Structure 1
Amino acid sequence: MFPEEVDSQTEDSALHGGRVRSFKHERGNWATYVYLPYHPEEEFRELLEELLSAARAHGVLLTPQEEFHLSVSQTVVLRHHWIQPFTQSLRAGLLHCKRFVCSAGRLRVYCNAERTRTFLGMEVCTGHAQLLELVQAVDRTMTEFRLDTFYKDPSFHVSLAWCVGDVTEQMKECIQELQSLVDDHEEGPFLLRLDCTELRCRTGNKTFRFPLEPEHLT
């Protein structure tokens, strides 16, 4: 009934680089978040290698993300029997949300609430208003299921890489050098472009897709 792709994801924490869960895993509880996917081009991957190398020279060993996306929800816990009504509610709420393009180019350092992981991210500079509209639609479903809504003043971003622990201070020492790699990239400043044509919801090992409505030319 719902288009989805099934990813085989292991629950062995030893295979996740020592990352710490922000909530206890229990049978029947599914970690769930809503996001826009980013499909990187070769230019982005080359820049990312330069950024990781520069950070490494400052003693910060970052691991690149396995996949890249922009979150429009927090990670919440769904019971298995909530998945179908939850995704139905999301689909209905997103029915009239239109496609758009957003871009990012400013590096920022993020740390999770538990201070167990630090991220290097690229913050959105255009498309903020459209992203807020998506958040409002997603938040309505979260509220319906009594789950946490998104942050009040969100810093929309695509996470590029991460490391275990809180290395915010070390990252701040080299962030300007990393930003210069972005700004002076080959033929000019690199701008990450996100074609927002569909929203996705990852819950456990399932991915649900919600195509956004094309803009109609008048």
Structure 2
Amino acid sequence: MKRAFSSSSLVEYSSSEDEDDTEKSVKRKKLPTLSASLVVAAPVDNPSLHQGRKRNTPHVDGQWAAHVFISLGLNRKSPLFSLLSEAIKSAKDDVPTLNDFWSKDGDTAPELHVSLSRPIYLRAYQREDLKRAVKSLALTHPRFTISFSTFSELTNDERTRAFLTIEVGAGHHQLSQLSTALAPTLQSFRQKDYYAEPRFHASIAWALLDETSPSESHTQFLTVPGIPSRSIDKLNKKYQSGLSESMNFYDADTLCVKIGKDVFSWHLKGP
């Protein structure tokens, strides 16, 4: 038997339905669009702004590029700076596209960086952990002496750039100890250790390498297949003895980590 409803109950039901519709309408109302000034744009990889250099790892929001290195100050009036400047000028006879690291910043004191890690990619919450680890290394490892023994060519892992480098002579053992001590921290971040047989060095100039894929070629920047071995041989024949002279020994006393654009440094333990 059908159930009868009073008119009053029908009115109450209709009123309740209207309230539900009104509530849904409020919930579905869109929030206002953020002002363009408040939206942070993702970095654009534009090689034309960086002498043809390309980002080797795509940008990821919340990810920070970092690396650890020993910093050696290089006085522009020092014998080593003069020697390196002459060597770069000589190398440009064979590789005119070489770019040094100092000429654009004439008012800035040049530095030599001896890397202790590959490029590291951190999440935001890992930045402080890396800084603490590097600081701990500095507090527990004594300062030491570094010299350079030979010119060489090295390339990055992606083979997009060739580097003219000076390889470490004295100090190699201590650099290896620092790199080994850093490895557990890198492993905890799921990052690669430094190379199994590291060639500790400081880069002094670079050139773009030929691309393996024509579709990815640098259309407006000259590239090279590499720095010719004859050029490296010429540099070592002319400058190697001066490179390794006692006046070009340096105190390695500053350990650094660069995270994004910020550099943090600590002095190694004193004698």
Is TM (by shorter chain) over 0.5?
A: yes
CA contact (8 A) 1:90 1:138 kept: yes
Q: Where in structure 1 are there 5+ consecutive unaligned residues?
A: 1-9
Residue of structure 1 in register with 2:238 after alignment: 181
Show the 5 A alignment for 1:1-218: 13-41=47-75, 42=77, 43-66=79-102, 67-165=111-209, 167=224, 169-183=226-240, 185=242, 189=245, 192-215=248-271
Amino acid at match of 1:171: P
CA contact (8 A) 1:103 1:191 kept: no
- Displacement of 1:161 in angstroms is 0.5
Hey, what's the Cα distance between the residues in 1 that align with 2:240 and 2:146? 18
Hey, what's the Cα distance between the residues in 2 that align with 1:96 and 1:170? 39
Q: Where in structure 2 are there 5+ consecutive unaligned residues?
A: 1-43, 103-110, 211-223
- Displacement of 1:112 in angstroms is 1.3
Stretch of structure 1 that moved more, 155-164 or 55-64: 55-64
Query: Kindly tell me: are residues 34 and 11 of structure 1, through their superposed partners in 2, closer, same or farther at Cα, counting changes over 3 Å?
Result: farther
- C-alpha distance after superposition, 1:157-191 (max 9, x if no partner): 011100111546542121111112313659x9587
Between Structure 1 and Structure 2, the one with more strand by share is: 1
User: TM-score scaled to structure 2, two decimals?
Assistant: 0.68
Between Structure 1 and Structure 2, the one with more helix by share is: 2
Hey, what's the Cα distance between the residues in 1 that align with 2:227 and 2:118? 26
User: TM-score scaled to structure 1, two decimals?
Assistant: 0.84
Structure 1 SS opposite 2:52: coil
Query: Kindly tell me: are residues 95 and 11 of structure 1, through their superposed partners in 2, closer, same or farther at Cα, counting changes over 3 Å?
Result: farther
Amino acid at match of 1:196: A
Hey, what's the Cα distance between the residues in 2 that align with 1:210 and 1:99? 11
Structure number with greater Rg is: 2
CA contact (8 A) 1:31 1:78 kept: yes
- How many pairs are equivalent? 205
Query: Kindly tell me: are residues 181 and 153 of structure 1, through their superposed partners in 2, closer, same or farther at Cα, counting changes over 3 Å?
Result: same
Hey, what's the Cα distance between the residues in 1 that align with 2:182 and 2:87? 33
- C-alpha distance after superposition, 1:126-145 (max 9, x if no partner): 11111111001211211222
- Displacement of 1:194 in angstroms is 3.1
Amino acid at match of 1:195: D
CA contact (8 A) 2:68 2:255 kept: yes
- Displacement of 1:98 in angstroms is 0.7
Hey, what's the Cα distance between the residues in 1 that align with 2:231 and 2:165? 14
What percent identity do the matched residue pairs reach? 29
Hey, what's the Cα distance between the residues in 1 that align with 2:51 and 2:246? 29
CA contact (8 A) 2:151 2:165 kept: yes
| Higher RCO (CA < 8 A, seq sep 6+) | 1
- C-alpha distance after superposition, 1:107-139 (max 9, x if no partner): 010011221100000011111111111001211
